[in-house]
Amino acid sequence: MIDLKKLTIKKAQDGLRNKEFTSLELTNAYIEEIKKTNENINAYLEIFEDAIDQAKKADEIISKGESKTLTGVPLAIKDNLLFKDHKAGASSKILEGYFSTYDAKVIETLKEEGAVIIGRTNMDEFAMGSSTETSAYGITKNPKAPHTVAGGSSGGSAATVAGDMALFSLGSDTGGSIRQPAGFCGIVGLKPTYGTISRSGLMAMGSSLDIIGPFTKSVEDAEIVFNTLAKEDAKDSTCVLEKDRICEKKEVKKIGVPRSFLKGEGINKETLENFEKSLDKLRGLGYEIVDIDIPLMEYSLAVYYVLMPAEVSTNLSRFDGIRYGLSISGKDVAESYKKTKEAGFGKEAKRRILLGTYVLSHGYYDAYYNKAVKLRHKITEEMKKVFNEVDLIATPTTPSPAFAPGAKASPLEMYLSDIFTVPANITGVPAISIPAGNSSEGLPLDIQFMAPHFGEKLLFEVGKKFEVK
Amino acid sequence: MTNEDILKLGELAKIEIKPEEIESFKKDFESILGYIKQIESVDVGDVSPSYLTENIAREDVSKNTPGEFSSDLLSSAPNTENGFIKVKKIL
């Protein structure tokens, strides 16, 4: 029996190379676990039919001694990543039955590595939500506390790793969609620097904010996956050339805490107390903790809720029932569009498309969109300045532990759960969420570190020391 | 926001809005826009809107052979005829 609970990518590599188990055995062990757990948790939407074939192919590569970093390692992908000839639907009815016509860059890389893509995971529709409650295919429960949500939007991907249904998984993070569910599920979630992992083949939500990243059980595993996937790609015009990925800082000494930002409304008391404990632990590890002030940071969420819907309204206009997906016929083209979108999109997708249309419309464009773009620029400058004083910034990842389905009464209340994660997307810096103990009710708590652009190494360095082994 | 505003947004975004949805959209937008409004009070000074990212352009040449993806792409389309995507009359 392979102990899936304790398995890491490193251990799996050793096990596969030393012939302790084959990729087929490992993949089957995960599929067994999925059969036991997934019905209740609803992390996977589909187990790919060719998962077993992928594993057999990986075993051939291993037996030839041509093993690469992720050869034979089983993983899950979020339902907004394109894997040629496999279904992909962003958990939306509008893409029901759609098969990908090409591979995302990350899938291409995973294929080259000989990794085993077991299946696709549930998510908030088009990655819009913080709880997977907007999925057209039901919510994903939190494997660590099934009476609560797994978080979102990449809730399914988080739950596959937290529930030992995959060794690692991929999600996408536009405003916290990797880090927040990682926090809720008590695992590691990395949002890399914007432009380090190609967005080619990731269904676009907010193109200036979106990034793909891993869910893992350890910081070391996150580092392994990141290093494998962070390749430049001409198919993503905002992907940064590898030679330009420079971070001047080499090590972490000082960690800054934006105190005034932590005083906002609605932040759970236990979350804050636990965060102070985490800071003590960091002091114990030899880091200097200092207070910092990023005055405009508190506007990040408001800026985000202008820019993101604006980009959503543009990106989602492609789902019109003409080239793919659901199609409902009306008396003319315009009516066909309207009927298709009405029937295909869920409430939250419609809300954000309409909101985006509003902030971009004549008369409001300057007050909302242009103002938000300027403010984003200002916040980024402030952030860069702070990184002259400190090496990392620490906050909790989530303002409260995982909540029960239906607990957030209004959209705005749901949006506020991204308060600590959104600044990294607005500014493009990398950030990681790492487990930091449990609440009195036994729910996972977390800590988030942000680093300067291209400073993932710094996150891994501190993360490895901080995490409980 | 008025009922007409909501219907107009639906018209612009090409999403049919059911009469029973108008009130709830209105209520949601009022609270969300109320929150967003805080950016109005910030003085950003004389910043020109700039973007964080720079384009990296690849050579403008096609590496694909004609028709390489046609059948895959057409097979996704709900309505096709003779290798074309079929749509309702536009004019």
| Cross-chain residue pair A342–B51, CB shorter than 8 Å | no
ipTM exceeding 0.85, yes/no: yes
Range of B34's domain?
3-41
Q: Chain B window 42-71: which residues touch A at a Cβ cutoff of 8 Å?
A: 42, 44, 47-58, 69
For B15-83, the three-class secondary structure string (H helix, E strand, C coil) is CCCCHHHHHHHHHHHHHHHHHHHHHHHCCCCCCCCCCCCCCCCCCCCCCCCCCCCHHHHHHHCCCEECC
CA atoms within 13 A on the CB side of B65: 2
CATH of domain A4-244: 3.90.1300.10
Residue in B49, B75, B79 closest to A374 by CB: B49
Chain A CB contacts of B89 under 8 Å are 332-333
CA atoms within 13 A on the CB side of A421: 34
* CA dist., res. A448 & res. A396, Å (int): 5
B22 shares contact with chain A (CB less than 8 Å): no
* CA dist., res. A423 & res. B7, Å (int): 33
Cβ atoms of A88 and A123 within 8 Å: the answer is: no
- Do the strands A168-173 and A74-78 form a parallel or antiparallel pair, or are they unpaired? parallel
Tokens encoding A14: 């050793």
Cα R_g (chain B), whole angstroms: 23
Min distance A320 CA to chain B CA atoms (Å): 9
| Cross-chain residue pair B53–A338, CB shorter than 8 Å | no
Residue B13 lies inside a defined structural domain of this protein: yes
Residue B46 lies inside a defined structural domain of this protein: no
User: Residue A269, exposed/middle/buried by CB under 10 A (0-12, 13-18, 19+)?
Assistant: exposed
The structure tokens 């996956």 sit at A225
Task: Pick the catalytic residue from A23, A57, A67, A78.
Answer: A78
Cβ atoms of A423 and A450 within 8 Å: the answer is: yes
Residue B63 lies inside a defined structural domain of this protein: no
pLDDT tens for residues A340-399?
Answer: 999 999 999 999 999 999 999 988 888 899 999 999 999 999 999 999 999 999 999 999
What's the confidence (pLDDT) of residue A266? 82
Q: CA nearest B45 in A: which residue?
A: A374
Q: How many residues does chain A have?
A: 469
Instruction: Write down the domain spans for chain A.
Output: 4-244
pLDDT at B50 over 70: no
**pLDDT tens sequence for chain A (469 residues):** 789 999 999 999 999 999 999 999 999 999 999 999 999 999 999 999 999 999 999 999 999 999 999 999 999 999 999 999 999 999 999 999 999 999 999 999 999 999 999 999 999 999 999 999 999 999 999 999 999 999 999 999 999 999 999 999 999 999 999 999 999 999 999 999 999 999 999 999 999 999 999 999 999 999 999 999 999 998 998 999 999 999 999 999 999 999 999 988 789 999 999 999 999 999 999 999 999 999 999 999 999 999 999 999 999 999 999 999 999 999 999 999 999 999 999 999 999 999 999 999 988 888 899 999 999 999 999 999 999 999 999 999 999 999 999 999 899 999 999 999 999 999 999 999 999 999 999 999 999 999 999 999 999 999 999 998 6
Q: Give residue B91's pLDDT band: very low, low, confident or very high (50, 70, 90).
A: confident
Residue B25 lies inside a defined structural domain of this protein: yes
Residue B66 lies inside a defined structural domain of this protein: no
Give me the number of domains chain B comprises: 1
